Amino acid sequence: MSRIGKKPVVIPAGVTAKVEGQLVSVKGAKGQLEFRVPDEVAVVHQDNAIKVDPRNETKRARSLWGTSRAQVNNLVVGVTSGFEKKLEINGVGYRAAVQGKSLQLALGYSHDVNYPIPAGITITTPKPTEITISGVDKRQVGQIAAEIRALRGPEPYKGKGVKYANEFIFRKEGKKK
């Protein structure tokens, strides 16, 4: 039994949710999001909450039960408070700046890297070595953070590169004489 799947997703005040077949759409102060629930899972809107249950007792239905409930909960949290990821840049001369609709990164290459900012995402640079990515869709915010980190991932000797704010980099010892 899924412990997460058993809990209904409570719809807070100021948020409207609609369930049409397998499509769940949620609208709130920050925007509107949709999620198509897999066919193995039944979704019902009742008593100002959304309840998710498996249609049968197959392994696939049980595994999608908790996942679907978490996805629906992410929709509700996204339209009420949104999601945010923070990145840190370490290295001499490494910096970031937002210019118009793109993020300009100096990451030690012979050229600056320009990353286009997609619609629905806000990227800010409070300091030249910090990047804050925010938006309503948790999946999109996480994907963009991963793509920016992949441009120059942290290396294990000096820790230079782009890393998540809460990430710990295991350090290696350098060469010895």
- All structural domains of the chain with their residue ranges: 3-80, 83-164
What does the pLDDT read at residue 6?
A: 87
pLDDT band at 176 (very low <50, low <70, confident <90, very high): confident
The class (CATH top level) of 3-80 is alpha beta
What mean pLDDT is reported for the chain? Answer: 92
Residue type, 26: V
What does the pLDDT read at residue 23?
A: 92
Please indicate whether the domains covering 3-80 and 83-164 agree at the CATH topology level.
Answer: yes
98-121 as b/e, with b when 16 or more CB fall inside 10 Å? eeeeebebbbeeeeeeebebeeeb
Token pair for 115: 């990353």
DSSP 56: S
What does the pLDDT read at residue 1?
A: 61
CATH superfamily of 83-164: Ribosomal protein L6 (3.90.930.12)
What does the pLDDT read at residue 3?
A: 82
Q: How far apart are CA 175 and CA 32, in angstroms?
A: 54
What does the pLDDT read at residue 36?
A: 93
pTM above 0.85, yes or no: yes
Q: What is the pLDDT of residues 45-66, one digit of tens each?
A: 988 999 999 999 899 998 899 9
Q: Is the pLDDT of residue 2 over 70?
A: no
Q: Mean pLDDT over residues 140-157, rounded?
A: 94
